[in-house]
Chain A
C-alpha cells in the first residue's frame, strides 16, 4: 500500500508541467525527491524551484538532483529544529541560517522566543555572511527577537554592516549595536571607526 502511494505520488510530481524543462532522467530523480518530501510533509515548492533554477542556469542533471536532495535534507533538519508547525518561508530561512553556520539549537532557541521567524533567521544568516561569528550573531538575534519588530531587525543588520564596511570588527560591531538598544539600533557605531587601518609600508 505504501509502495503504491509512493508510486502514485511520484506520478503526481512527474505531471508537474514545470519539470518538463528537465531531461527525463533528471525529472524522474527530482520527482522522487519531491515526493519523498511530500510524504515527510516538507514544503515541496522550494525543491521544484531549486530544480528549475538549475535548469535556467544550465546546470547538468546530476548537479540539479544533488542540489534538490541537499535542500530537502536541510529542510528536514530545519523542521526538526523549528517544529512541525514552522511555515515554508521559516523553513527556507532556517536552511539559510543553518548553511551560514547556525546550529539547530540556535534555531530551536529562536523558535521559543519569536513567531514568525522568517526575517529573524534571514538576518541571522546575513550577519554570519558579513563575517560576524555565528555565536555572536545568534546571541544578538536572540536578544532582539522577543521584542524587536522585523523592521528593527533589518535595520540592526544594516547598521552592523555599515560599521563593518567602516572597518569595525564584525563581532564588535554586532555587540555595540546590540548594546545600543534594539529600539534605536542606528544610534551608535562600533569598533574603532576613527582609526584608519595602518597601511603596509617599510
Chain B
C-alpha cells in the first residue's frame, strides 16, 4: 500500500506540474521490457514509471519521488516506489555537508512486500572538475513483519571533462546478517543530442548478498524537447535494502515530461578568451567559435570539421552573410569591427541552415530558428 500511495502521489502531482513553480520537474516513462530475474523464467513486461522532483526555491535542498508499475505477461504485477530528500550545507569553500532521508517500498503480487527507511549524511570535497565524498546511511529494512537494521558506508570520486563525467564508488552494506561490498564505475557521455550512460561493477566480500559482476547501459535519444526514446539494458545485482532481486533486462521506453532531457552541457572556452560567450548549442559538434578581441578588430575563428564553405552573419555584418577564409590549420576565420555590447551571430556550413555556433549562448530567435549570443566587453 505504501508503494501505491507513493505512486498515487507522483501521478497526482504530475498533472499539475506545468502550473506550478519552475523548480518542479516531472516525467513519465512508459515502456516494454524483456526481463529475467535470477531464479525465474524470462518474461515480457510493460512498465510505467512516473518521476517528480521538487527543488527548494533557493536551491538549498531537493525532494524527489519515483514509482514503477510493472505488469508481466503472466498477469502478475509489481509495484515499487521511493522518495528521498537532501539538504545541503556549505561548510567551507571546498567542503559541504549533505543530509538526506529516503524511504521506499516494493511489492510483487501478493507474495512479497519490502519497505525501508534510511537517513544519510555525506561530506563532499569539491574541486572545479573533480571531487569526492564519503558518507554513511543508517536505517531499517522491513520484509513482511521482520525488520533489520541497515548500515551503509560509502565513498566515491567523480571527474568531469567537458560533456563527459565519470564516477567511481565503493560501498559496504550491512543489512541484518547480510553484508556485501559493491565497487562501481559509471560514466555519462553526450554525443550530439544523445546521452549515453553506463555502469560496471562487481559485488565482492559478500555474505548472503551474492557475488559477481554487473553492468547496465542506457541511451536517451530526444525526439522533441519533452519526449525522448530511452533504450536500456543490463544486469543489476540484488538490492537487499529495497528488496529488488538480481536480474537481466532489455527495455525500450518513451519518456515524456518536463526537463526529461538534460540541456546541452557547457564547454569551457579557452581561459584566455576574454569574451563572454556561453554554453554550446545543440550544434556544438558541428561548429565552434573562438572570439579574440584585438586592438583594431575582432578575430572570429570557427572550427567546422569537414565543411567546404563556412559563412557567418550577425548584427556586426548587418546580417549580410560573409564567407570565412580557411586557414592552413583547417579552421575558418575572419576579422570584423565589433563594438562592445551584446551581439547576435549565426553561422552556416555548406549552405545549410543558419545555426548558433558552439561557444556562444544559444537562444531561440524570432524566426523559428536559433541565434548565438555573445557579449563583448
Residue of A nearest to B236 (CB): A201
Q: Is A174 an interface residue (CB 8 A)?
A: yes
The residue that A56 contacts in the complex, of B132, B156, B320, with Cβ under 8 A, is B320
- CB-defined interface of B140-175 with A at 8 Å, one 1/0 digit per residue? 000000000000000011101001010101000000
Residues of B within 8 A of A139 (CB): 58
The listed residue (A118, A166, A175) touching B160 by CB distance below 8 A is A166
What residue of chain A has the Cβ atom nearest to residue B259's Cβ? A131
- Which A residues are CB-close (under 8 A) to B47? 200, 202
A166, B165: Cβ atoms closer than 8 Å: yes
Closest to A180 in B: B93
Given A89-B341, A122-B373, A167-B165; A196-B55 close (CB under 8 Å): no
Whether B335 is near chain A, meaning CB under 8 Å from some CB there, is no
- Please give the distance in Å from A64's CB to the nearest CB on chain B: 8
B218 at the interface (CB under 8 A from A): yes
Decide yes or no whether A18 CB sits under 8 A from chain B.
yes
Across the interface, which residues of B come within 8 angstroms of A136, CB to CB?
23, 57-59
Q: B265's closest neighbor in chain A, by CB?
A: A165
- Residues of chain A from 177 to 194 with CB closer than 8 A to chain B in the complex: 179-181, 184, 186-194
A175 nearest CB neighbor, chain B only:
B59
Of chain A, the residue at the smallest CB distance from B29 is A200
Cα(A49)–Cα(B313), bound, Å: 11
By the criterion CB–CB under 8 Å, are B341 and A118 in contact?
yes
Using Cβ atoms and an 8 Å threshold, which residues of chain A touch B341?
87-89, 92, 118
Range of interface residues on A (Cβ < 8 Å) = 35 or more
CA distance A136 to B279 in the complex (A): 19
Residues 77 to 136 of chain B near chain A (Cβ within 8 Å): 86, 88, 90, 93-96, 98, 122, 124, 126-129, 131-133
Q: Who on chain A is nearest to B374 by CB?
A: A122
Enumerate chain B residues within 8 angstroms of A180, measured Cβ to Cβ: 90, 93, 126
Closest residue of A by beta carbon distance from B72: A202
4 closest pairs, A vs B, by CB?
A: A175-B59, A165-B265, A171-B59, A89-B341
Q: List 12 A-B contacts (CB under 8 A).
A: A46-B315, A50-B366, A54-B366, A67-B367, A89-B340, A89-B375, A93-B375, A133-B22, A165-B190, A171-B56, A179-B96, A189-B127
